[in-house]
Amino acid sequence: MDTEIKRVAVVIVNWEGWQDTVVCLESLEELTVHPTQVILVDNGSSDGSAEHLADWLQKHEKSLDTTYILLRLHTNCGFAAANNAGIRYLEAGGQHIDYYWFLNNDTRVDKNALAGLLERSSRPDRVGIYGSVILDEREPHIVQTLGGAHYEAFTAQARHIGGGRACTDVWNSADIEPQLSYIYGASMFVSHEFVAQIGLMCEDYFLYDEELDWALRGKAKGFTPGFADSSIVYHKGGASFAQARATDGSNYVSDYYLVRGAVVTTWRWYPWALPSVLFMRWRELFVRLFHGQRLSARATALALLMPWRLLLPDDLRALVERGRADV
């Protein structure tokens, strides 16, 4: 297979984590097969990320055969909306792209990661989104997930396929793909055909569950998830919310969006499972209260009591201010 003929655009969303983003960019330079373009989307950072990334791009804009573009969004509009901005930019320019490779900014790619994805995508099947072997950046011998996750509707919980396994274990796409409900957002390789038929990611979630929603919309039109067993990506995980931990160690921002995503996904796709999902989340709320995790308990309550409208980041800011007032 001649992988060079495929036009691939990498889309990376940065939010107040330019150091991680630079590591990701530098790993892309080592790829054996180079993408056509790299679209950096700064999601309204306030830490000078856009300026640091602009400096890096200025020094590397003529390297290899890749074109680099920096898009600056005025506010943090969420994971899906920021990635969609990258797609819209390419489409507005009339550029034909065969595949979009969405990477979390706290990833580092193996030199053969893109070649592996292109090899898997060359097979004649109805796959729209492909995943990679995701290894833990801090413990690179440990698997975070093989491609993605299996989703259980009654609990609204996802189980990462192969999570915790040793990277020396043997696996192949034929064994993994039947287990996949969706592809993990740290590395999503998406065909132009999929985007053209299914549309962009749903921006209602803001964070979490948009990958599942995308996969479910694709499944309704006959697309299945795929797994490239020779594509390796290293992922930190949780870097964006490191500063959002409460003094009790809980992460109220992550808890808020996880609960909110579970409720919205269940309402849209599995309404028959709503009683069990709500019961489990209310139980989580009381467990957090019992353990003294006040901010996480409040975040959970906020997501549960107001799930029928689109909740904005302002809700979380108000939550944090109330929590500080109680200290």
Last residue of a domain, one of 240, 266, 289: 240
Q: What are phi and psi of 326, to 5 degrees?
A: -80, -15
**What's the domain count of the chain?**
2
pLDDT of 172: 80
Cα–Cα distance for residue pair 83/87, rounded to 1 Å? 7
Assess whether 23 and 142 both reside in one domain: yes
Residues of the chain with pLDDT under 70: 1-4, 61-64, 238-250, 306-327
Assess whether 220 and 255 both reside in one domain: no
Assess whether 251 and 167 both reside in one domain: no
Orientation angle between helical segments 252-269 and 274-290, nearest 10 degrees: 170
Contact between residue 43 and residue 71 where contact means Cβ atoms under 8 Å apart = no
Closest CA to 19 of 293, 236, 265, 264: 236
pLDDT of 323: 47
pLDDT of 112: 97
**Chain segment 132-184, per-residue pLDDT in tens:** 999 999 999 999 999 999 999 999 999 999 999 998 888 888 889 999 999 99
Assess whether 104 and 208 both reside in one domain: yes
Cα–Cα distance for residue pair 112/125, rounded to 1 Å? 22
Q: What is the distance, to the nearest Å, from the Cα of residue 133 to the centroid of all Cα atoms in its chain?
A: 14
Last residue of a domain, one of 240, 265, 280: 240
Bridge pairing between strands 224-235 and 107-109: antiparallel
Closest CA to 6 of 190, 201, 197, 184: 190
pLDDT of 15: 93
> DSSP of 208-258, one letter per residue?
SSHHHHHHHHHHTTT-EEEEEEEEEEEE--SGGGGGGB-TTS-BHHHHHHH
Q: What are phi and psi of 209, to 5 degrees?
A: 75, -5
- The runs of H, that is alpha helices, within the chain are 18-28, 49-60, 79-92, 113-121, 173-176, 192-198, 210-219, 252-269, 274-290, 294-305, 313-326
Residue 272, both tokens? 């028959």
pLDDT of 312: 45
Indicate whether this model's pTM tops 0.85: yes
Q: What CATH number is associated with residue 101?
A: 3.90.550.10
Bridge pairing between strands 8-14 and 99-104: parallel
Assess whether 219 and 282 both reside in one domain: no
Assess whether 168 and 252 both reside in one domain: no
Cα–Cα distance for residue pair 99/9, rounded to 1 Å? 6
Assess whether 220 and 283 both reside in one domain: no
Residue ranges making up the domain that contains 200: 3-240
Assess whether 272 and 152 both reside in one domain: no
pLDDT of 145: 96
Assess whether 111 and 163 both reside in one domain: yes
pLDDT of 60: 76
Assess whether 275 and 230 both reside in one domain: no
pLDDT of 327: 37
Assess whether 228 and 250 both reside in one domain: no
Assess whether 163 and 256 both reside in one domain: no
Last residue of a domain, one of 188, 216, 240: 240
